[in-house]
Amino acid sequence: MNKLNHIAIIMDGNGRWAESRGKRRTFGHKKGAQVVREITIHASNIGLNFLTLYAFSTENWKRPRHEVEFLMKLLDEYLQKELPTYLEHDVKFNVIGDISKFSKKLQNRISYTMEKTAHCKGLTQTLAINYGSKDEIIRAIRRLDSCKDINEESFDKLLDTADMPPVDILLRTGGEHRISNFLLWQIAYAELFFIDTLWPDFNSAILDEIIKQFGKITRRFGGI
């Protein structure tokens, strides 16, 4: 059985799910937030150590203004509402990405949630917000004092994910087969799963099936 520490998910399909039901895209994002809660609790219950969710990319600012504003408000409300859930399930909340682009109110909400859950010892749930892997790598390079002693291990420590292990499973919902600038360094040896299920229809049973498939894979990491 393969050791499973870290699952990363590209949560795709909220807008299409809503539009297929004659609803506004924002309706899908709201439903998607409910699925985030379900999957986080389930991941905690099964003993997963790290769950990283792609919530808002550096490219998502290109979306219509009203949708971006809704997503910012939804994130603020989600963190406020779910803090008791984090504490109840011993979940540590974390973020990766450049949050300096967000409003001070949202930055404070993020910092407050991280502070209040810093002592939690179970699952670490990380939201990738205003995150892009290319941006992350460039920011890491800017932190370099010199290139003289740089290697994979030292470069790891400069990334947003410095305190996290490599990704074991990268999952994308919604039927698309691309990485979309997500954790390009960290998924070097991840097992990739692309499924047609839209994120609002995703559930813990589907996740369990993917974990079961992962357990049957022979992981060689370049060896024989």
pLDDT digits (tens, 9 = 90+) for 22-67: 999 999 999 999 999 999 999 999 999 999 999 999 999 999 999 9
pLDDT at position 207 over 70: yes
> What is the per-residue pLDDT for 219?
74
pLDDT digits (tens, 9 = 90+) for 105-121: 999 999 999 999 999 99
pLDDT digits (tens, 9 = 90+) for 212-224: 999 998 777 776 5
> What is the per-residue pLDDT for 143?
86
Sheet holding 92-96, edge to edge: 92-96, 124-131, 50-57, 6-10, 169-172, 191-194
C-alpha torsion sign, points 123, 108, 73, 82 = positive
* Burial class of residue 171 (count of CB atoms within 10 Å of its CB; 0-12, 13-18, 19+): buried
Average pLDDT over residues 56-80: 96
Average pLDDT over residues 70-86: 97
What are the Cα distances from residue 134, in Å, to 55, 56, 130, 142, 151? 16, 14, 12, 13, 18
Residue ranges and CATH numbers for the domains of the chain are 6-215 (3.40.1180.10)
Round to whole Å and give the CA distance between 101 and 188. Answer: 28
Round to whole Å and give the CA distance between 162 and 185. Answer: 12
Q: What is the mean pLDDT of the chain?
A: 95
List, by residue number, the catalytic residues.
12, 60
pLDDT at position 81 over 80: yes
